[in-house]
Amino acid sequence: MSTVKDKQDLKKAHYVSEWSRIPLNGDPIWLKQLRIRGAHLFRDTEFPNTRMEEWRRTNISIINNTSYRSTPASPPIALTQKAVEPFFLKNPAATELVFINGRYNKTISRLPALPEGVAAGSLRRAIQSPLARVVKTHLGSCLQARNAYTALNTAFLQDGAFVYVPKNILVETPIHIIALTIPGQEPSAAYPRVLAVLEDGSQASITTHFVSLSEHQPYLANAVEEIILGPNAQLDYCRLVEEKAQGNHLATAEVRQDQNSRFNGFMAVLDGNIVRSQVCVELAGDGAECQLNGLYLNDGHRLTDTQFSVLHSRPHGLSRITGKGILDGDSKAVFLGKVYVHPDAQKTDSRQLNQNLLLSERASVETKPQLEIYADDVKCTHGATVGAPPQEVLFYFRSRGISEAAARGMLTCGFAQELIEEAPTHAIREYLSAHVLAKYAPKEIR
């Protein structure tokens, strides 16, 4: 009889065998070593399971039990820019970087001129350029050993998105990274990777957008993003997860902020089967500020897991975490906010709020805002709410002649809209508003 461990070993053997077939392509030795470290870590780390505190409420055994093949380097169909244009931002000045199964596709990307010294493109290309030094310094540097899947991403690291903004440079137009998964005939996994480095006093807006052109083949997008903000740098960041119904998604973003830097993040999970959206910020310099806003729209039998953590390592840091979820059908959402205040992080100012709107009696939410404080002079709050649209509010609408169905629609859109207005990029706000309106608003009030 096989034990749980034996089964895990079998699954792992599958990935190790896939891993051994990665073409070497003249990669520098440090990259090979990084991959080997990832592979070791993967082999020695248990798959995430409900016996682990962080995964207690999120059962991903369906992902663990699937032996995903690596997605093909070049997709079976040749893609034109026209095929990916629907994913482009409604801002013709935006840089549109298209990645297919984790690999950069320059021909179908749109590359307007960027300020001198700014790089936005392929990680693999950067390794062969004078920027190799930057990549080598930072790639894998702030990724903690979060779980077996983040290790697996590093083990399979071959390409990815690389954004570099030199000191005091302001990139005014948004950089939009489209991570497109096109699975093969069997269940396949893509390993999107992002590295963004903003030097001292620089500023940029980056959006990673996870989508798929898969019709019905199951797949896994296993993404890792690393974001490094130098002193006084400012990043507006959005993550949109819009996988297909048969697509699972595990994403981890690691953000390391130096002093007085500002990170304004907006993470939206719009679609996908099981989606885990994790962002881990370390406020590693004095006076650094971060805002983490998460929106998840669940229906059917979907499961989303939003994990935001902020580590306050230094004094005068500020963090704001807000999660908002709308749950319909038999869907389930998990929200875990975690703020850790180190003894050195005096004068920390932190707020956490998670609000959930239940549109169905069968939907469920597990919410757990957490605070761990080891400094004595701090201001930290947290709170959570879960509930259906209040009858008193519905009556107010109805007393103005608005039907209950229309009232629910307006209320639901408004609930999301309130958070959408916090999204840092205009084009993203428009995109999300339109999405929410199409999903929840009755026709007559659009």
CB of 162 to another protein, least distance (A): 37
Which of residues 374 and 396 has its CB atom nearest to another protein in the complex?
Answer: 396
Structure tokens that stand for 120 in this block: 């936005």
176: closest CA among 434, 379, 443, 431?
A: 431
Q: φ, ψ for residue 415 (rounded to 5)?
A: -60, -45
CB 334 within 8 A of CB 364: no
Give the CA distances from residue 408 to residues 13, 268, 274, in Å, rounded to whole numbers and listed in that order. 50, 21, 26
CB of 369 to another protein, least distance (A): 19
CB of 423 to another protein, least distance (A): 13
Which of residues 56 and 429 has its CB atom nearest to another protein in the complex?
Answer: 429
| β-pairing verdict for 69-70 and 95-100 | unpaired
Which of residues 315 and 389 has its CB atom nearest to another protein in the complex?
Answer: 389
Q: Helix 148-155 vs helix 29-44: angle between axes, to the nearest 10 degrees? A: 150
* Interacting residues toward another protein by CB under 8 A: 390-393, 395-404, 406, 410-411, 413-418, 444-445
CB of 275 to another protein, least distance (A): 23
CB of 391 to another protein, least distance (A): 8
Cβ-based neighbour number of residue 321 at 10 Å: 27
Give the CA distances from residue 90 to residues 123, 269, 295, in Å, rounded to whole numbers and listed in that order. 26, 19, 21
- Please measure the distance between the N-terminal and C-terminal CA atoms of the chain and give it in whole angstroms: 59
Which of residues 272 and 424 has its CB atom nearest to another protein in the complex?
Answer: 424
Which of residues 374 and 395 has its CB atom nearest to another protein in the complex?
Answer: 395
CB of 358 to another protein, least distance (A): 16
Which of residues 362 and 398 has its CB atom nearest to another protein in the complex?
Answer: 398
| β-pairing verdict for 95-100 and 103-104 | antiparallel
CB of 301 to another protein, least distance (A): 27
Which of residues 126 and 432 has its CB atom nearest to another protein in the complex?
Answer: 432
Q: Cα–Cα distance between 157 and 23 in angstroms, integer?
A: 11
